[in-house]
């Protein structure tokens, strides 16, 4: 049930109408029931995994909180880690590790019989397992008290607007909102609809247009296309993956807002970043902070000297890459970003403390940063190292001669992305820019024009890219 489908719109209207007619406790039951139905619409067989994670972490959270002995608290935490990471490891990584081990034995000259594991990846498993796991970890760290309501906890784990692709929401951000009584607010309705509509525009127009006309044909046969076309392809993918995932996040945030909930932001105009650290402060922010807080800091962060800091940084980015996909190209993508971050840290140390970069240095930093980001996206998008190698060679000039015939809609999609980031730059430099009141008639005209535009430019409904992760 994709957000950009008619089925979801009908589903949400029904849930929304029922939600505001129920009292507080029954609203929780409706959220759980509707979220389970939403997930079952993808594949009902995997609904039990969400229920299992919910039951385990609800019990574990209460046991950790009640235990005084550090050893007992740690043993209960291990139960949560084993269940959640075990589920994630089996469904997402079992086939990858088996194949990698067989390749290793084959490389050593040993004969092995190939094993085929036909394991279907449950949609959203990387997201909801992290959410339930963060609940147990925060209670273990004494940063959160467990909820007494199993229904509220189930609603937190399975909350349908962000269930399958985030943002990754922590219990301490969401459970308090569940406990607060909700009252219908027309402002929430308008702001939620506006955010949903903007996300719809990002996904259905910008991302899908670039995906269909540029990204898919170029990455399918990189050796057949000219160097210029390959550069256009990687630029298009850089925009596509941003618009696709940012669009989903906006639709999730908008849906939640209409129901009276505030979800954390997931993107902050990442292609305005001037260095790799700034990029990761802006890109998929809820994932970045999860790995920062639960992996990087747990390993020691920057508290144990420069060498161990680099080790912790490398480990975090490699794990982050593997989280995105069960493939060595994703690990390499994470490792490459780890290298970028390490180089950026060393460059900062060489800069005099009181110096302020000139606009020339800022522009150079922006260009170098996004050149590196684009090259890394090749590893992320290509179906394996062989195609990535061919693509990178093509970018360097060793390419074919094929070119694409592109309709004006493609250039309009690029222009819409540029306008989006110009507005972001203006908002960052003038905080009052986005808060200036606009007449109701002008807002209504803008919404109507957007709907009409989407109706006339609509591509075929496609799954969101991050549903594969």
Residues with catalytic annotation? 324
Query: In 3D, which of 372, 365, 373 has the Cα closest to residue 347?
Result: 365
Query: What is the full DSSP assignment across 138-169?
Result: HHHTTS-PPPS-HHHHHHHHH-GGGTTT----
DSSP 8-state symbol, 181: P
* Backbone dihedral angles phi then psi of residue 121, each to the nearest 5 degrees: -80, 115
Rounded (10°) CA dihedral 183, 185, 190, 194: -40
Q: Which long-range contacts (CB under 8 A, 24 or more apart) does 216-224 make?
A: 217/404, 218/404, 219/381, 219/382, 219/383, 219/387, 219/391, 221/402, 222/382, 222/387, 222/390, 222/391, 222/394, 222/399, 223/390, 223/394, 223/399, 223/400, 224/400, 224/402
Q: Which residues contact 469 (CB under 8 A, 6 or more apart)?
A: 126, 165, 323, 324, 325
CA distance 321 to 246: 19
For residue 353, CA distances in Å to 273, 349, 357, 360 come to: 21, 8, 11, 18
Query: In 3D, which of 20, 59, 31, 41 has the Cα closest to residue 151?
Result: 31
Q: Which residues contact 166 (CB under 8 A, 6 or more apart)?
A: 127, 248, 249, 252, 266, 284, 286, 287, 466
In sequence order, what are the beta bridge partners of 116?
A: none
Secondary-structure breakdown of the chain: helix, strand, coil percentages, each rounded to the nearest 5: 75, 0, 25
How many CB atoms sit inside 10 A of residue 97's CB?
12
Distance from the Cα of residue 290 to its chain's centroid: 12
């Amino acid at each position: 049930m994709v957000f950009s489908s008619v089925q979801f719109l009908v589903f949400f209207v029904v849930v929304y109408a029922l939600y505001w007619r129920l009292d507080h406790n029954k609203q929780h039951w409706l959220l759980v029931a509707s979220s389970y139905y939403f997930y079952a619409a993808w594949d009902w067989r995997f609904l039990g995994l969400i229920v299992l994670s919910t039951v385990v972490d609800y019990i574990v959270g209460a046991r950790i909180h009640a235990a005084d002995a550090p050893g007992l608290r740690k043993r209960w935490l291990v139960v949560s880690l084993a269940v959640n990471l075990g589920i994630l490891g089996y469904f997402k990584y079992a086939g990858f590790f088996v194949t990698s081990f067989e390749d290793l034995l084959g490389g050593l000259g040993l004969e092995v019989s190939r094993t085929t594991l036909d394991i279907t990846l449950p949609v959203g498993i990387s997201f909801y397992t992290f959410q339930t796991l963060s609940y147990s970890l925060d209670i273990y760290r004494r940063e959160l008290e467990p909820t007494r309501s199993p229904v509220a906890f189930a609603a937190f784990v399975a909350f349908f607007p962000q269930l399958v692709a985030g943002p990754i929401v922590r219990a301490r951000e969401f459970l308090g909102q569940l406990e607060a009584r909700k009252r219908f607010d027309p402002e929430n309705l308008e702001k939620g609809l506006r955010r949903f509509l903007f996300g719809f525009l990002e996904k259905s127009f910008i991302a899908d247009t670039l995906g269909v006309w540029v990204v898919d044909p170029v990455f399918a046969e990189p050796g057949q296309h000219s160097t210029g076309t390959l550069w256009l392809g990687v630029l298009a993918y850089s925009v596509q993956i941003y618009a696709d995932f940012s669009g989903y996040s906006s639709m999730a945030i908008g849906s939640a807002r209409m129901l009276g909930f505030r979800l954390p932001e997931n993107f902050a105009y990442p292609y305005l970043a001037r260095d790799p650290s700034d990029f990761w402060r802006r890109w998929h922010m809820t994932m970045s902070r999860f790995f920062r807080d639960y992996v990087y800091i747990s390993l020691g962060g920057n508290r144990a000297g420069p060498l161990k800091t680099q080790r912790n940084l490398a480990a975090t980015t490699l794990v982050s890459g593997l989280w995105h996909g069960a493939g060595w190209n994703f690990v390499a993508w994470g490792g490459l970003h780890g290298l970028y971050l390490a180089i950026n840290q060393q460059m900062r140390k060489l800069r005099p403390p009181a110096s302020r970069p000139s606009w020339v240095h800022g522009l150079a930093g922006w260009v170098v940063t996004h050149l590196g980001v684009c090259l890394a996206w090749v590893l992320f998008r290509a179906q394996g190292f062989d195609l990535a190698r061919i693509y990178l060679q093509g970018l360097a000039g060793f390419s074919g001669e094929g070119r694409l015939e592109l309709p004006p809609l493609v250039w309009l999609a690029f222009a819409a992305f540029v306008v989006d980031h110009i507005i972001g730059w203006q908002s960052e430099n003038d905080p009052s820019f986005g808060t200036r009141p606009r007449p109701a008639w002008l807002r209504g005209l803008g919404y109507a024009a957007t709907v009409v535009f989407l109706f006339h430019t609509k591509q075929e409904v496609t799954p969101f890219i991050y549903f594969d992760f």
